[in-house]
A and B are shown apart, each in its own frame.
Chain A
């Protein structure tokens, strides 16, 4: 049941990486074979949860032993403007007896309980490895429960062992396509309705963007899934245009919505000034093409001009302080070049960037932006990263939590660019937030203190 689904997401024609592959390469799938004893990152279940949990008024019920939910709940930084139900940790907490006798009945009862207790508009049920191995049919259980309780109960079939996080993102998206999108109708539609796909409102980033849309009269109709209510996902099929924000993760959703409902999509990013402006322009152009009044283009240009002028003015003081500073960037995908471009605007030089999860196009742009001496690497062994930082090759590192301590133990400033980040960095405001965070961290007075030798090192040989 899962196999055709996996082949289908691996075959995604909308994916730029995929387009660059031969037929044979495509067949092997996008999940690189994992190397035992040398892996990093989450599993497919993790990916599915990242994609779907931001639907804020739903219960996200994990069918499995305690590890899958008990070790991970209430850690992600997706924010809600209203309901907090999605933050509830809910799991069947399978025991040995459940493994022996099967967990389907328990799951059914658990669904019944969460509906009685929380009355959510829908329940998402996540499959995990152990029940998948013993053959618990969550699709069937969800089907029966949906019928019985008169509420959507959506199976998310992405047990961890089918692959990495990225595969899980896609399978989570498939669950939306199969069970959610197109199941309800919006009260009204406008020519300015869009879908935002692949943004999870991490640290509240959508809230940095919404004022821009509001000013232009653009309405986010379909939220997939940042700060979404269930209803906001069900009506996504009525939008005029889709924007895919994190291209690799949910391109399948955008592409299939184009096929099914004729909604054109584009890939864009809200990291950095250039990208934000480009995304707004593309969005306006597509909306006009879809029938929105043509004055949207001029209004968009005017807004971009005034926002860019405003942000450059606010960035100016930082430009003076930060110009010439060297950054080591360790993120991936889109960010590998969009951040280089953004930092370049204020004179900060990126000396190296990781290009894992980046397309060939991403890499070419990063290369062009960094010039000849810029380093492009797929991964940087921790030892080398530590040495680079220790030797002062970079003044600061921007990366995710996993590499945080490599920088800190080398006594080098570090800023979190990943999904556990506490600060939102989207749009024009986000750029300012990122630069001000870099400034705050870089100019913190601790650095000289922690790098200074201890008294016994200073007085070595004297006493």
Chain B
């Protein structure tokens, strides 16, 4: 069990963490017909938007309330009102997902009151859901914003149950899941004859579609009607510990029981998921799922040689770190440095000695001190990897220097199998071959080094 260190720092060098309003806005990207609205100055949305465009390679319809120095001091209700009206007129959206920022939270805006006021003045907005979430930049990170936004969606949109649909299952998806991951989860759930409602669902909105007309909102994603009907489901499965709060709110509101799975990467974790699906559906796993499992088992047999004893340094948001590091341990690798962006309860349960809440600089220094063989982080790890001369396997957001970020998968039997291949190949590529003179006897030249084999010879 891990000791979680939260050093008080005056300086973050090469940040790992991104901002909560960006996390919240990305969650809103998983709703159909939605425009995420960041309540702050235009820079508050522009930076995240630019990064998201590079990551997803899609149009990102973020908007902001264009707060200026004056409106920040006087209060932003007028800007919020104007923004909502402009967005609705221009885009005909179904939902506006409003995230606050450090700017608006420092003054202290009463968003709930403001929205009530706006609704009263504008009956024409009646058909538009205005979901709001408090995401000050100075509290938490990307994952925090995502998880708060999902809680807000559940809290503000879900209706009381009308009927109980025994085969309808809610899936609450954490920010560590890509469009590819969600497709995989949906596939698995459907394999048991169950119908999932996934919230939020990036697998239709940011999976690389080519619509035949211009659409100014998100296209695809969870619909308002689906969210409203989540109270009719038989069960809720949260993927990632960050979904606990949303699942609990849903249960309180509608009585739908839930279970949170802290990860879906690795044989053990996927088995747990499949066992749950068997219980919920009353069906045994179909042949295609069994086949996927057999392939994973075989990949583990073929691949474990390359993972054993490999020293890995990982930096990621908590739930992604938990999934990757737990799985690496199960493959025989050693996570020698683990860095996360914010502290959450899941981290203490991770089977490593220590986790630092910090930045890419902590990753770099840790990897160097610990003599790591491999780095795992988002694209911002690239400079550290270059300086250390180590391979970097990219996971998470942002991934601005690779194609297909949103189709990379880490969940389910198949994705775990592919992870073994991809990471294993990376390790094979960087394996140092034996060289003459690498082994010496005591008393010879390099006595002080004691004479040892190359660090990663197999």
With beta carbons under 8 angstroms apart, the residue of B50, B69, B138, B139 that contacts A401 is B50
Using Cβ atoms and an 8 Å threshold, which residues of chain B touch A383?
214, 216
Contacts of B12 in A (CB 8 A): 66, 69-70, 89-93
A162 to B68, CA, bound (A): 6
B275 at the interface (CB under 8 A from A): no
Scan B1-20; emit 1 where CB is below 8 A from any A CB, else 0. 00000000111111101110
Give Cα distance in the complex from A411 to B210, angstroms. 9
The smallest C-beta distance from A171 to any residue of chain B, in angstroms, reads 13
Find the A residue at minimum CB distance from B64.
A39
A107 contacts which chain B residues (CB < 8 A)? 10
When C-beta atoms are compared, the residue in chain B nearest to A117 turns out to be: B13
Specify which chain A residues have a CB less than 8 angstroms from the CB of B257 in the assembled complex: none
Give the CA-CA distance A88 to B11 in the complex, in Å. Answer: 12
Q: How many residues of A contact B (CB 8 A)?
A: 71
CA distance A61 to B79 in the complex (A): 30
Q: Which residues of A contact B45 (CB under 8 A)?
A: 39
Report how far A107 CA is from B11 CA in the complex, Å: 8
Q: Are B106 and A42 in contact (CB under 8 A)?
A: no
Among B43, B46, B50, B90, find the residue whose CB has the most chain A CB atoms closer than 10 A.
B43
Contacts of B383 in A (CB 8 A): 74, 84, 87
B43 touches A45 (CB 8 A): yes
* B138, A37: Cβ atoms closer than 8 Å: no
In the complex, what's the smallest C-beta–C-beta distance from B160 to chain A, in angstroms?
Answer: 32
**In the complex, what residue of chain A is closest to B80 when comparing beta carbons?**
A36
Cβ-based interface call for A449 (8 A): no
B266, CB-defined interface residue at 8 Å: no
Question: How many angstroms from the CA of A94 to the CA of B80 in the assembled complex?
Answer: 25
B86 contacts A38, CB within 8 Å?
Answer: yes
B380 close to A (CB within 8 Å):
yes
Q: Which chain A positions have C-beta within 8 A of B136?
A: 65, 96
Query: A382 near B216 (CB under 8 angstroms)?
Result: yes
Least Cβ–Cβ distance between B117 and chain A, in angstroms = 15
| Nearest neighbor of A118 in chain B, beta-carbon distance | B13
Q: B380 touches which one: A42, A74, A164 (CB < 8 A)? A: A74
Contact B10 A382 (CB under 8 A): no
B137–A130 touching, CB < 8 Å: yes
Scan residues 8-56 of chain B and give those whose CB is less than 8 A from a CB of chain A.
Answer: 9-15, 17-19, 21-22, 37, 40-48, 50-51, 53-54
Q: Are B41 and A66 closer than 8 Å at their CB atoms? A: no
If A382-B214, A386-B213 touch, does A129 touch B41 (CB 8 Å cutoff)? yes
B41 x A133 contact (CB < 8 A) = no
Can you list 14 contacts pairing A with B, beta carbon distance less than 8 Å? A36-B80, A37-B37, A37-B66, A74-B380, A110-B10, A114-B13, A129-B41, A129-B103, A130-B103, A130-B106, A160-B41, A160-B44, A401-B50, A406-B214
Tell me the nearest residue of chain A to B141, going by C-beta. Answer: A66
CA distance A91 to B82 in the complex (A): 33
Residue-wise, chain B 107-146 has the 8 Å CB interface mask toward A (1 for contact) of 1000000000000000000000000000011110100000
Task: Point out which of B10, B63, B64 has the most chain A C-beta atoms below 10 A from its C-beta.
Answer: B10
> 5 closest pairs, A vs B, by CB?
A43-B43, A37-B83, A37-B86, A67-B19, A65-B137
A35 on interface, CB distance cutoff 8 Å: yes
Closest to B96 in A: A37
Question: Which single member of A42, A64, A71, A73 contacts B22 (CB below 8 Å)?
Answer: A71
Instruction: Tell me how far the C-beta of B81 lies from the nearest C-beta in chain A, rounded to whole angstroms.
Output: 8
Find the residue from A45, A65, A450 having the highest chain B CB count within 10 A: A65
Whether the Cβ atoms of A71 and B18 lie closer than 8 Å is yes
Q: How distant is B14 from chain A, measured CB to nearest CB, in Å?
A: 5
Give Cα A40 to B42, complex, Å: 7
CB pair B47–A46 under 8 Å, yes or no, is: yes
Interface flags, A111-154, vs B, CB<8A=1, else 0: 00110010000000000011011100000000000000000000
Interface size range on B against A? 35 or more
Q: For the complex, is A72 an interface residue (Cβ under 8 Å from B)?
A: yes
**How far apart sit A10 and B67, CA to CA, in the bound complex (Å)?**
20
Partner of B65, one of A36, A41, A92, A160: A36
B50, B59, B138: the one contacting A65 at CB < 8 Å is B138
Complex CA distance for A450 and B208, rounded to whole angstroms: 14
Task: List, in ascending order, chain A residues with CB within 8 A of B210's CB.
Answer: 409, 411, 450
Residues of B within 8 A of A279 (CB): none
Closest chain-A Cβ to B365's Cβ sits at a distance in Å of 11
Interface status of A106 (Cβ within 8 A of chain B): yes
Among residues of B, the one whose C-beta sits closest to the C-beta of A405 is: B59
| Distance between Cα atoms of A190 and B138 in the complex (Å) | 51
Which chain A residues border B79 with CB–CB below 8 Å? 36
Give the docked Cα–Cα distance between A74 and B64 (Å): 23
The 8 A CB mask of B198-231 against A (1 = contact, 0 = none) is: 0000000000001101101000000000000000
Say whether A387 faces chain B, with CB atoms less than 8 Å apart. yes
Q: Given A39-B66, A387-B214, are A66 and B42 neighbors across the interface (CB < 8 Å)?
A: no
**B94-108 at interface with A (beta carbon < 8 Å):** 101-103, 106-107
B72 interface residue per 8 A CB criterion: yes
Is B85 an interface position by the 8 A CB rule? yes
- Give the complex CA separation of A107 and B83 in angstroms: 34
- In the complex, the chain A residue whose C-beta lies closest to that of B21 is A67
Question: In the complex, which residues of chain A have a beta carbon less than 8 angstroms from the beta carbon of B22?
Answer: 67, 71
A183 contacts chain B at the CB level, 8 A cutoff: no
A105 nearest in chain B by CB position: B10
B58 on the interface (CB 8 Å rule)? yes
B87 at the interface (CB under 8 A from A): yes
- Residue A161 at the chain B interface, CB threshold 8 Å: yes
A68 at the interface (CB under 8 A from B): yes
A38, B66: Cα distance in complex, Å: 8
* Residue A402 lies at the interface, judged by CB distance under 8 Å to chain B: yes
Nearest CB in chain A: distance from B332 CB, A: 33
Closest to A161 in B: B41
B147 to chain A, nearest CB (A): 16
Docked-complex contact A89 and B42, CB < 8 angstroms:
no
Q: Tell whether A1 is near chain B: CB-to-CB under 8 Å.
A: no
Contact flag A70-B107 (CB < 8 Å), given A110-B11, A383-B214, A406-B214: no
Q: Is the CB of A36 within 8 A of B64?
A: yes
B331 at the interface (CB under 8 A from A): no
Tell yes or no: A368 within 8 A of B by CB.
Answer: no
